[in-house]
Amino acid sequence: MTSSSVSTVHKIEDYSPCLWFTPKVHLRFDLDPHLTVVRADYEVKSNGTKISPLFLNGENLEFLSLRVNGRVVDPSEYKITDLGLELLEPPGEVFQLTVENRICPNQNTSLEGLYQSGSMLCTQNEPEGFRKIVYSIDRPDNMMQFTVTIAGDPSYFPVMLSNGNLKEEHPPVNGKRVVVWEDPYPKPTYLFALVAGELIETKDEFVTKSGRIVTLKIFVEKGNEEKVSFAFESLKQAMKWDEDTFGLEYDLDLFMIVAVEDFNMGAMENKGLNLFNAKLVLADKKSATDETFESIMAVIGHEYFHNWTGNRVTLRNWFNLTLKEGLTVFRDQWFTEDMTDPAVKRIKDILFLKEHQFPEDQGPMAHPIIPKSYTEMNNFYTVTVYEKGAEVIRLVSQILGREVFKKGLQDYLTRFDGQGVTFEEFISSMERAYGKPIPYIRNWYHRSGTPILNVKESFDQKNQEWVYQLKDYTDTNLPLVFVNSYAAFDSNGKLITENKRIQEGTLDEIRIKTPKDSESKPIVSFFRGMSSPVLLKSEMTKEEIRILAEHEPDGVSRFFSFQNLIFLWMSESLKDENKKENLTEVLEIIQSSFKKDWDKTYFSFYLTFPSLMQFCENLQFFDYKQVESLRKFAIQTISETFTKEFQFLYEENRKTIPKQSKDEIGKRRLKNTALYYLLHHPKKSFESLAISQQRDAKHMSEEIFALRSLIEIGSKEKDQAISLFYDHWKQDALVLDVWFAAQVATGENHISDLERLEKHTKFNLKNPNKVRSLYFSFARNPLSFHEQEGKGYVVIAERIKQLNGINPQIAAGLTKLFSQSSKQIGNLPRIAKRELEGIQNLPQISKDLGEVVGKIIKSL
C-alpha cells in the first residue's frame, strides 16, 4: 500500500496563503530503481508575517537528515509524521534548509511520485506527487526556480532528463554519470519532471515567429522510433497555431516529450518536458485509428498550450483546477476545429459532454467546476472540471466575440505572468477586454448540476408575435448567464429569423413575428451548436423536429435535431411497444439525407445511430435490455429499408488510401457506417464484407471496425476474427489494448470473457491502459455491468479491491462507474450498495477510493 490512511477534507473557505516559500531549490538525485537518494537544498523565505513552524509535506519517504543553514538539526527540533516534517522553530525570515530522504521507485505502483515504467524511471507530480519524492512545500502557490542534478549508472540511464536546459554533463566517475538541468522559469512542484532510462531520442525543430530555433525531441522506448512523425507534425502545428491565434510563442530553446507505457491519465504538461501516455504519441497508419490520430493531435496541442495557460500563469490552489484545464481544453478544441472540420469537431465535443459530463452532473459525484471541498484531489480531474469548464470559457468567448476574447487572454497572461491565480483573475481580464461586467458568469463556477431550461410558448394577438419564455428552474439562488443562438423557420423549413441573445438570469423572453403570409407558427431551434451547456425541455412535436433535422442550415443543430427525433421515438416506444413501428419520420430523414451533398465525415456522423448509452442519458429509470432491443429493431428496419443505398455507399468508399487526409478519413468512416447497417440486415448476411475488410485492411480504422462489428452482431465468425487479429498484432501492446476492449465493450454475458482475458499473458493489472481496456470497457457496457442479477457488480468490486493495493487512482476511477447504479431497476441498487460497502470495509482503503465509495453509497 502506498497511500496514506489519513483523510482530511480540504475546504475552499479554509484556503490561506503560504506562511513560507521556497523560491529556489537545488535537487540531487542518486538514481537506483530499488533505492534512490534525494536531497533538496531550499532557500526558505517567510511570507513576512510572524515566524511560525515550517511544515514540509512528505509521504512514504525514508527520512535521512535535516540541516538548517548547514547545521545538522537535532531530532528534538522537528517532528516527523505520516504526512510530513515540521521544523518547530525556524531560525529567521530567510534561511537555507537541506533535507535528504530515500524512496523506492520500483515498488511504487501508484504511478505518482518517482516510479518505474518498463526500463525507465519517471515522475508524475500533479497534483500532489512531489511529496512522495522529497520533503517540500507541495502546493501550487509556492513557486521556485529548480536546479536539478541527476547521478546515475550510464548503462541503465544513458538518458537523464529534467525541465529546462541542460547545463552540465560530466563523464562517468565511479560508474556514475552526472547531469545538471536548470529551468529559468519559476514553477510549482507539480510541474517538476525527471525521466531517466534507455530511451531513443528522435528530433525535429520549430522556428518561432520571432526567428528563434526550438529543438523538439521525442523520447521513446526502443522499437517505437518509427511511430513519432505524426506527433512531431501535431506539435509543430500546435506551436504555429498558438502564435497565429493568440500571439503566444514558446519560451525555451528545447521542448521534450517522453512516451511512457504505464501512465495514469493522458498526458502531463511539465515545463519543457511533457510526459505522455504512449498511446497518445505513437502512431502509424497500420496500427492507429483515425480517432487515435485525432486524439494525438488534440492532446499534444493541449499539453503544449498549458505552457502559457497553466505553467506561466498557474493556480493559486487546486480548487481552481478548471482555470487551467477548462481554459486549455477550450483552446485545444478550438485548435482541432481549425485543423479539421469545425462542425464535426463540435458534434464530437457535444456528444462527449452529453455522454459523460451530463450524467456526472446529475449523479452522486456531481460538483461545481470549482469544487467546494475535496479529500483526494486526484478524484477531481473530472469531465466537469475539464469539459464543463471548457463550455463556460466558450460562453465567455461567445459573449465577448473571439477577437475580444483573444485580447482578454493576452491581458490575463501578461498581467499575471509568473503568478498563481484564481478564476476571478481570469474573469476580471475578460471583463476588462469587454469593457463591462459579465453578469452572473461567476455563478457557473459555483453551481453543480446541468441547468434545465423550460420553454413555454404563447401567442400575443395584439402584436401578432409568438412569445417564448425560457426559464431555468434548476437553481434560482444562483442565476446564470446563457448565450442563446437561435433561429426560427416556417413549416417549409425556410429561415424566418436568426439571432444571438444573451440571457441574464433565470428568465428570458424571445419574441418572433409570424410572417404575414404564413399562418403556421414558427419552429425554433434554440441554443444552436449548444451555445450554452444546458438541457432544454420543450413540447416540440415530431413533425417540428423533423423539419429542423432536415432544414436547419447549422450542421451541428441539424445533427442534434435528428438525434432528438430518434430519442422521441425511443421514449414513445418504451411507453408503448406498438409505437416502435412508427419510424416514419426517422426513415424520411435518412431518405432525404442520401440526396444531400454533405462532407463525408459529417454524413457518417449524421447516419450513425445513437449508442445504447446515448439513449439512456435521456431517460430516468430504464431497462437496458429493452432499450437495446428497440434500438436494434430500428437499426434493422433502417438496414432493410435502405439496403441498396448502404451497399452503394460501401462500394463507393471501399477503396481508400492509408493517409490522414480529410477525404480519406471521411471515406473510412462512411464505409464503416454503411457496413454497420448492412451487418444488421434482418434477412441477408453481409458478414463476408466485414471479414474481407478485416483481412485486407490498410488502416487500423478499417481493421478494428470490422472486428468490433463482427463481435457486436455475435457473428459465428467472430472467434476466428478475434484470433486473426491477435496473431496479427500480438507484438504491439497498444493495439492489444483495443483488442482486449473490443471483446467486452458490446453485447452481454462477458463475465467469462473478462475472467479469461485477465489471465492472458499480455494482460497486466499494474498497467492502467490494460485495466482501462478490460475492466473499464466492461463496466462501461451497461449490458454486462448492469446485468440483472448483479454479477457484473460483484466482478468489478472484486477487481477494485485488488487495485486499491496497487493503484488507488485507477481503483477510484473504476469505482466511479457505479455512479449510475442508483438509476437501475430491480435489485441492482441494493446489490451495488452491498458491494460498495464491501470495498468500504477494506482494512487499508486509500483516500482516493474512500472518498468515491462514500459518495456513491450515499446515493443508494
Taking the least distance from each CB to ligand TRP, the nearer of 379 and 563 is: 379
In angstroms, the CA 566 to CA 553 distance is: 19
Residue 337: CB minimum distance to Zn ion, A:
18
Q: Does 758 bind ligand TRP (CB under 6 A)?
A: no
Which cell numbers hold the place of 569?
421515438
Residue of minimal CB distance from ligand TRP?
Answer: 265
Determine the size of the site formed for Zn ion (CB under 5 A): 2
Judged by CB under 6 A, the residue of 330, 335, 381, 602 near ligand TRP is: 381
Q: Does 848 bind ligand TRP (CB under 6 A)?
A: no
Residue 377: CB minimum distance to ligand TRP, A:
9
Options 87-95, 214-222, 262-270, 789-797: segment touching ligand TRP (CB under 6 A): 262-270
For 184-214, the DSSP string reads EEEE-GGG--EEEES-EEEEEEEE-TTS-EE
In angstroms, the CA 671 to CA 655 distance is: 9
Residue 376: CB minimum distance to ligand TRP, A:
12
Catalytic residue among 303, 391, 425, 702: 303
Q: Does 379 bind ligand TRP (CB under 6 A)?
A: no
Touching Zn ion, residues 292-331 (CB under 5 A) = 325, 328
Residue 451: CB minimum distance to ligand TRP, A:
25
In angstroms, the CA 75 to CA 68 distance is: 12
Report the partner that residue 268 touches, choosing among Zn ion, ligand TRP, none (CB closer than 5 to 8 A by kind): ligand TRP
Report the partner that residue 108 touches, choosing among ligand TRP, Zn ion, none (CB closer than 5 to 8 A by kind): none
Taking the least distance from each CB to ligand TRP, the nearer of 139 and 680 is: 139
Q: Does 303 bind ligand TRP (CB under 6 A)?
A: yes
Options 298-306, 403-411, 603-611, 776-784: segment touching ligand TRP (CB under 6 A): 298-306
Tell me the C-alpha to C-alpha distance, in Å, between residue 41 and each of 22, 133, 151, 481.
Answer: 10, 14, 16, 49
Residue 321: CB minimum distance to Zn ion, A:
9
Options 227-235, 267-275, 425-433, 640-648: segment touching ligand TRP (CB under 6 A): 267-275
For 507-560, the DSSP string reads EEEEEEEPPTT--SPPEEE-STT-SSS-EEE----HHHHHHHHHH-SSHHHHHH
Residue 328: CB minimum distance to ligand TRP, A:
7
Query: Is-cis flag, bond preceding 171, omega within 30?
Result: no
Q: Does 349 bind ligand TRP (CB under 6 A)?
A: no
For 404-467, the DSSP string reads HHHHHHHHHHHHTTT-EE-HHHHHHHHHHHHTS--TTGGGGGT--S--EEEEEEEEETTTTEEE
Taking the least distance from each CB to ligand TRP, the nearer of 267 and 297 is: 267
Q: Is 20 helix (H, G, I), strand (E, B) or coil?
A: strand
Establish whether 291 is a catalytic residue.
no
Listed residue (130, 172, 124) closest to 151, CA to CA: 172
Listed residue (806, 808, 816, 809) closest to 836, CA to CA: 816
In angstroms, the CA 680 to CA 314 distance is: 51
Interstrand relation of 465-472 and 507-513 (parallel, antiparallel or unpaired): antiparallel
Report the partner that residue 381 touches, choosing among Zn ion, ligand TRP, none (CB closer than 5 to 8 A by kind): ligand TRP
Report the partner that residue 394 touches, choosing among ligand TRP, Zn ion, none (CB closer than 5 to 8 A by kind): none
In angstroms, the CA 742 to CA 721 distance is: 11
Tell me the C-alpha to C-alpha distance, in Å, between residue 333 and each of 231, 325, 347, 350, 376.
Answer: 17, 12, 11, 11, 28
Determine the residue type at 16. Answer: S
Residue 114: CB minimum distance to ligand TRP, A:
13
Taking the least distance from each CB to ligand TRP, the nearer of 100 and 269 is: 269
Options 14-22, 54-62, 266-274, 349-357: segment touching ligand TRP (CB under 6 A): 266-274
Touching ligand TRP, residues 105-124 (CB under 6 A) = 124
How far from the centroid of its chain's Cα atoms is residue 481's Cα? 25
Determine the size of the site formed for ligand TRP (CB under 6 A): 12
The one-character DSSP state at 374 is E
Taking the least distance from each CB to Zn ion, the nearer of 325 and 585 is: 325
Residue 324: CB minimum distance to Zn ion, A:
6
Listed residue (617, 631, 606) closest to 383, CA to CA: 617
Which cell numbers hold the place of 198?
534507455
Tell me the torsion sign for CA atoms 446, 342, 325, 781: positive
Q: Does 860 bind ligand TRP (CB under 6 A)?
A: no
Q: Does 264 bind ligand TRP (CB under 6 A)?
A: yes
Binding mask 309-328 for ligand TRP (x = CB under 6 A): ----------------x---
Q: Does 126 bind ligand TRP (CB under 6 A)?
A: yes
Q: Does 265 bind ligand TRP (CB under 6 A)?
A: yes
Residue 769: CB minimum distance to Zn ion, A:
19
Helix, strand, coil in percent for the chain, rounding step 5:
45, 20, 35
Report the partner that residue 664 touches, choosing among Zn ion, ligand TRP, none (CB closer than 5 to 8 A by kind): none
Around Cβ 210, how many Cβ atoms within 10 Å?
7
CB-based contacts of 282, cutoff 8 Å, min separation 6? 220, 224, 227, 228, 231, 259, 288, 734
Touching ligand TRP, residues 784-843 (CB under 6 A) = none
Options 2-10, 301-309, 581-589, 693-701: segment touching ligand TRP (CB under 6 A): 301-309
Report the partner that residue 124 touches, choosing among ligand TRP, Zn ion, none (CB closer than 5 to 8 A by kind): ligand TRP
Residue 819: CB minimum distance to ligand TRP, A:
20
Report the partner that residue 264 touches, choosing among ligand TRP, Zn ion, none (CB closer than 5 to 8 A by kind): ligand TRP
Q: Does 387 bind ligand TRP (CB under 6 A)?
A: no
The one-character DSSP state at 148 is E
How far from the centroid of its chain's Cα atoms is residue 57's Cα? 29
Residue 190: CB minimum distance to ligand TRP, A:
8
Taking the least distance from each CB to ligand TRP, the nearer of 380 and 489 is: 380
In angstroms, the CA 133 to CA 145 distance is: 17
Buried-state track 183-207, b at ≥16 Cβ within 10 A, e below 16: bebbbbbbbbbbbbbebbebebebe
Taking the least distance from each CB to Zn ion, the nearer of 328 and 604 is: 328
Report the partner that residue 767 touches, choosing among Zn ion, ligand TRP, none (CB closer than 5 to 8 A by kind): none
Chain contacts with ligand TRP (rule: CB under 6 A): 124, 126, 264-265, 267-269, 302-303, 306, 325, 381
Chain contacts with Zn ion (rule: CB under 5 A): 325, 328
Question: Which positions are catalytic?
Answer: 303
